[in-house]
Each structure stands twice: as C-alpha cells, then as structure tokens.
Amino acid sequence: MCPLTLALAATPSPSPSTTDILPDAETAARTFQAACENNEGLFCTVLNALLPGRQFPSWITLVAGIVDGLLMLVLIFAIALVIRNLVHRLITKLTLRAGEGVLPERLRNLTPLGGEASVAILTERRRARAETIGSVLRSLASVLILGTATLMALARLGVELAPLLTSVGIIGVAVGFGAQELVKDFISGMFMLLEDQYGVGDVIDTGVATGTVEAVTLRITRLRDADGKVWYVRNGTITRIGNESQGWSRALVDVPVPPDTDVAEVRELLRSVVAELWKDPEYRDKLIVEEPEVYGLEQISGSSVIFRISVKAAPTHKLEVAREVRMRVKRAFDEKGLAFAG
C-alpha cells in the first residue's frame, strides 16, 4: 500500500460539531410530513378523518404537518407560561405570608425606639428578606419551566436532545469551574437569608471584620466598623458569624474594693444600686431585659476583692448599660465614703 493511501486511511474523520445536532430545513420538513402521514397532530387528524383513505399530495401533508407543528409549539409555550404564572403567584403568596407575623410582646421594646417603631423595623427586615427569597425562587422556577418547554419544542422539531444536552453539560461544567466562587457566594447568601443569621442594622463579627451591617445581598455583605471603615465581605468566605443584635446581650461590671472592706455592706449596696436601676422606667424593658444580679465575690487577691454585676441588656446596648451601672456605683460609693481598690 502506498504512503499516500496509508496517510488517508490514518486521517481521523471529523467529529460532528454542535451545528450538526440541529436539523436543516429539509429534515424538519420530512419530520412534519411524516408526522402528518402517521396521523399525528390536530390538523392532520381532522384532515384524515374528513377524507379517509385518500392519498394527499406531498405538499398538502407538508403544509398540514407544519401547521400542526406550529400549533404544538404555541401550545407548549402557552402551557409553560400559564404554569409559570401559577408558580409565581404561589411563591409570592408564600413569601408575603412569611414576611408577615406577630412579634411577641416581650420583644417589642428591645430597641431604643420601642413600641410600634421597633415592630416596624423588625417587620420591614422580615419583609425585605422574604422579597429577596421570593425573587430568587421565581427566577429559578422560570428557568426550569421555560427550559423544559424549550427542550420539548426542540424535540418536536426533530432535534436530537442527547448530544445537545451533552454539549450544554460540558459548557456548564466549564462555566461552573470558572465561577465556582461566585456560585459559592450565592448559595451561602441564600442560606444566610433563609436562616436569618443577620440583617441590616445588626452588629456582627465575621472573623474578617466586625461592624454594623449596612447592606446584605446574595453575594456580599457590607459592614462599617467602629472607625468608620467600610468592609465588603463575600458571603462564601464567611465561615462563622457572631451576632450581637439578636435576643439579648450581657453587660458585666466588675467592682474592685480593698480586701479589708466589709463584704456584706458592699454587697447590699450593690444590690440596692441595681434594684434602683431596674425600677428606672428609662431602662426597664427598654434597655434592660431582666432584673440585674450581683454575683458576689468574683475574685480575691491580696490587693483587692472584686464583685461582679450582671445585667441582661437589649441587643447592642450592653456598653451603654454598663456605663450607667458604673456611674451609679461610683455615686453610691461616694455617698457611703467607700473606696475602690487601686
């Protein structure tokens, strides 16, 4: 065998491209014509029923098949749009119901605004979270429903779906590898919204930065720290969250006194201080959740004896409550002539 023959025999045949998957006009016409000859479709069924046993010219069956094909395509997309609208309405109804709710009476005054203003803030946060989740679910439902309708339409036109889906799958895998960080951010953002881990106005510690949340999206969280610096943290990089704005916080105040001080006298004095603070309407049930406690002796050393006061405060207000406790303790010590340990 000559070298030229060997070279031609060794030359691989070209693999079919993506465009080979799509049928040409002649193939599509034969598909429509065969469907009509097999009594498939509404128009062809009526035509064969009215004139049974009659041999129609090829152009008639071709036209009838095309009409039936177009009617089927319109019917597929019409049904898909109806289902899409019904699913969107169901998602909207569920998200609106999730955005509504009655706040427990105990939690109504856990912000400095108190009362109805507090309820309005928390309700708005719940509503915004529900709207974001609803938007994502509606987009996902549209992609699934319309994508399925498109595949059904292509199959009706005679397109081979197996190689087409294989090609799309390969492209999807390639895009997925390139955008895996973005996908991770979106998935983390979805779970964060669903679980209500934090929201706008919360003070959180992400490990990377600590500050007040100014904006939350599916991809990033924007924080502003105590120095005024703005941090943009990707949701996919957050592995832990410390939220100081949910439920309550605890203010701890240590009071050091000399070791020769009367312990019982100091303890009773501190109890009277926190009792007066609990009776103050400016703090009770607005900045303080429960009655403060005096733990007693926290530490003992040769230079001091330390008492500890514990106050369960409203979220993000423990520092304010702790300062007020220190001021009242200082005033009470001055009135009694007591001194603090150095």
Domain ranges for the chain, please list them: 21-178, 191-243, 249-336
The 10s digit of each residue's pLDDT in 37-74 is 565 655 566 656 655 655 555 556 566 667 777 888 88
The 10s digit of each residue's pLDDT in 172-188 is 777 777 777 888 888 88
The H or E element that residue 110 is part of is none
- Could you write out the DSSP letters of every residue in 5-71? HHHHHHSPPPPP-GGGGS--HHHHHHHHHHHHHTT-SHHHHHHHHHSTT----HHHHHHHHHHHHHH
Burial class (CB in 10 A: 0-12, 13-18, 19+), 193: buried
- 249-336: same fold as 191-243? no
Could you tell me which residues come within 8 angstroms of residue 259 by beta carbon, excluding any fewer than 6 positions away? Answer: 300, 301, 302, 303, 304, 305, 341
Q: Do 303 and 342 form a contact (C-beta atoms < 8 A)?
A: yes
Amino acid at 52: P
pLDDT the model gives residue 28: 54
Q: Do 41 and 72 form a contact (C-beta atoms < 8 A)?
A: yes
d(CA 212, CA 206) in angstroms, rounded, equals 11
For 249-336, CATH number?
A: 3.30.70.100
Dihedral (CA of 192, 194, 196, 197) sign: negative
pLDDT the model gives residue 37: 58
Q: Both tokens of residue 102? A: 């009655």
d(CA 186, CA 20) in angstroms, rounded, equals 36
Q: Do 198 and 204 form a contact (C-beta atoms < 8 A)?
A: yes
pLDDT the model gives residue 44: 64
* Per-residue DSSP letter, 280: -
Reply yes or no on domain 191-243 having CATH 3.40.50.150: no
pLDDT the model gives residue 99: 63
Q: Identify the segments of the chain with pLDDT beneath 50.
A: 1-22, 102-117
